[in-house]
Structure formats: C-alpha cells, structure tokens
A and B are shown apart, each in its own frame.
Chain A
Amino acid sequence: MNSAHPALAPRLAQAWAVLQTVPDPEVPVVSVCELGIVREVTLAGEGLHVVLTPTYSGCPATELIESSVVAALVAAGLGPVSVALQRAPAWTTDWISAEGRSKLRAYGIAPPGPASSDESRVLRFMPRHTAPALDCPRCGSADTERLSAFGSTACKALYRCRACREPFEHFKPI
C-alpha cells in the first residue's frame, strides 16, 4: 500500500508518487506514506478520494497532515480531493515501512519494535517493569536507558545512550 503501484490507473500511481513526498509535520524526514497514515487512494469523478488514519487520538498534526495531503495533490493537478479520516483498523507502528524505519534511525529516532507482541503482553509494574533495551541510533550500542516515558510528541519517548552519552528519541510501538 505504501509503495507505488505500477498496475494502477496513471492518476492513482501519480497520486501515490505525490504522497510519497508529503512529509510528516513533526518528523519531516519521513513521508505520510512511509508512516502508514495514507490507507487508500481512489478515483472520485474528476478528482481523488483519500483515506487517512490518525496515529494517536490527540495527535495535533492530524489536521495539518490532512491539509498538506490535499494541497500536494491539488498542486499536482490531481484535484479536487476529498479526505476521510478512518480510525478502524487502528493505526499501528507496524505499518511504518522498512524505508521509513531506516530514515527514522538515520534522523536519530530509534524506530519502534513490533507492536503485536506488545498487545498481548502481561502488564508488569515497577520494580519488575523495565523498558525494553534499544539500540542507540547514533552509535549502535545497546547500553541505553529510558529517561522519559513521554517525549516531544505523543508518539515518542526519550532515551539516553550510556556509551556515546547522546540522548535520542524512540518511536513507541503501539
């Protein structure tokens, strides 16, 4: 869904290509497609219909993403564009593409591990609970610790590498 579809109608293929260039407003190194936010693009008369899914219920970027998607498609001459927000199935970080993950890492954000195992995990509370070990996106060391369960945006937590002493962000698996 996140890559270009050669078999699609030219207008749809063009739309997906345009959407690959629309950055996430909070993490501009990845596109809305790479994050798995764009769920569907269909032909609607002269224009297009796009289905987006919100990441977190309260993510303030949702409305901005919607307007940047519309603006990019209209600018490419593919308008008029209607957008629907669809909550189910709920967005999961498992939908972030492999390319998106490597871009996150290169940007200094540790990408999320698989969310599915997390869903069925039995909750354990302090002192047995420890956040999973992560590899530092800068030096690769696994000697890292969580500084803050919540970070600069709803989707991230803050970590520190004990080897290179650099702080880094982690895209939380949900």
Chain B
Amino acid sequence: MQASIQVTAEPRVRYVLRLADNCLMLAQRLGEWCGHAPVLEEDIALTNVALDLVGQSRALLTHAGQLEGCGHDEDQLAFLRDERDYLNLTLVELPNSPQGARTGRGDFAFTVLRNFAMATLFKLLWQRLLLSSDAELAAIAGKALKESRYHQQHSGDWVVRLGDGTAESSRRMQEALAQMWPYVAEMFENDAVDEHAQQTGLGPRWGDVRADWMAEVTGVLEAAGLEVPKATAFRSTGKVGRHSEHMGFILAEMQYLQRAFPGGVW
C-alpha cells in the first residue's frame, strides 16, 4: 500500500491547489454520470465538461508540484494526499444528489445548478488570472477561460430551461437550489492564502469575485423564475481542508488504484 505524501503549507502552492482540487473533485462527480444521465446528449455533455476539468486540474497540479519543488507530480498530488490536504470547496465533493446520497442516483437539477455555480466562479477567476504574475498560471487560465465560458453557457441554459419549465421541473430546481445555496458562501471567504495571492499578484482573492458572481447567478436564477434562497450563517470549510462526510468516500474511490498499485500507469 502506497503511503501518503505530505504537501507544503506555502500559500502560493495552496492557492494553485485550491484551483486544481475544485476542478478535480467536480470532474470526479461529473464522471459518475457517465452512462446514467437523463438523455444521451447530456451524458456526453457532463463527461465532456469533466474531461475539460481533468485537463485543467492536471495542468494546475503539475504547476503546483513545480512551485512546491519537492518532486511531486500530478498523479502523486491527485492520488496520494490525505483528506485534509485537499483544498476544494465542500460544494464540489457533495454527491450528485445530496439528499439521496444513499440511493446512488444523481439529481440532474442539483448537477446543473452546481455546474452553473462553479462554471461562473471559474470563469471569473480565470479572467482575473490572465493577469497573474505567474506566467504559467496565466497560460493555464487563458485556455481554461474558453472552456469555462462554454460550460457556463451550457449549464446556464439548463437552469433556465428547467427552472422556467414545468411545475415539476421548477419545484425540483428550487429544492436543489435550497440544498446548494448554503455551500455557496464558502467560495468568497478570504483567508491568508487569498491575501498572499493578492499581494504578490498571483491572483485575486476569491472574495473579490463575489459581486460579479452574484450578479451573473442571480440574473440567471431570476430568468429561470427561481427564488434566490436567503443567506444563512452556515459556512462549509472544504477549502481549508476540513471536509464533509462525503470526502472520505470519494477519495477512497479515486485513490484505490494508486494506493494498491503504486506508480501504476495506463
């Protein structure tokens, strides 16, 4: 059994790992839809989005490993860290159907809402990261921005189509939105990692994209006839490494092969 690697707490590495881990974990969740989406076109769409996210995550993990300078490659960072060293938002590790996690069946309403929330966040971050003082991070952002824009368009279309659809689709979207909304606040909580990134020109504090995110997301929710839920005091803490009860299970599935067959490659 392969032992875990230890990762530096250096702020610039953590900033890049946050971006990488959000891409990675959302891709893993979207991959679970493969062969199970409601229609074939969306099966292809969800896995295509996952493919883009895996690609972005690979580039970011490779870069984080280079910044860290301890010789960790993308595979080691993706598969050999302990739970607390993953810095993704709790939102992306939630099962595709948070309420029906035990049935294993995904909720398409929750999936399109989360995809829209994350694509909007990624798009706003990539736009700002084009100006990063780190040339490689700016290069990754330049490519990812084009992809996130397409993801946002596609998922946003679904939010409107289902929110403004039948009474049943609207009800299910509103329910899914109520499940998702408490986890949104974490996106914009700044900490020392954000402050360091801003001071060094590495990238924006995530809190600085809050106003733009809210404007874009609430605009689409309104067009969809969905009511924006009230803010709550609840704060998830995935991006500082304190995860939900779902994280251990998704990591077990992701990591099993690399742990059981160290260094295994395709």
Contacts and interface: CB of A to CB of B under 8 A. Distances in A.
Interface string A33-64: 00000000000000000000010111110000
Contacts of A90: 139, 142-143, 145-146
B53 A125 contact: no
A151 B45 CA distance: 8
Contact of B142 (A60, A88, A149, A151): A88
Nearest to B156: A125
B178 interface: no
Contact of A88 (B138, B159, B223): B138
Interface string B104-142: 000000000000000000000000000000011011101
Nearest to A173: B146
A129 to B, nearest CB: 6
B55 A57 contact: yes
Contacts of B140: 57, 87
B147 A57 contact: yes
Contacts of A147: 41
A87 B51 contact: no
A149 B139 contact: no
A150 B157 CA distance: 14
Interface in B34-53: 40-41, 44-45, 48-49, 51-53
Interface of B: 40-41, 44-45, 48-49, 51-56, 58-59, 135-136, 138-140, 142-147, 149-150, 152-154, 156-161, 164, 216, 220, 223
Given A57-B144, A125-B153, A127-B160, A87 B139 contact: yes
Contacts of A87: 59, 136, 139-140, 142-143
Interface residues of A, number: 28
Interface of A: 54, 56-60, 86-92, 119, 123, 125-127, 129, 147-151, 154, 158, 172, 174
30 contacts: A56-B147, A57-B55, A57-B59, A57-B140, A57-B143, A58-B51, A58-B52, A58-B53, A58-B54, A87-B59, A87-B136, A87-B139, A87-B142, A88-B142, A90-B142, A90-B145, A91-B143, A123-B149, A123-B152, A125-B153, A125-B156, A125-B223, A127-B160, A148-B40, A148-B41, A148-B44, A148-B45, A149-B41, A151-B44, A154-B51
A127 B160 CA distance: 7
A145 B127 CA distance: 31
A35 to B, nearest CB: 15
B47 to A, nearest CB: 8
Contacts of B153: 123, 125, 129, 149
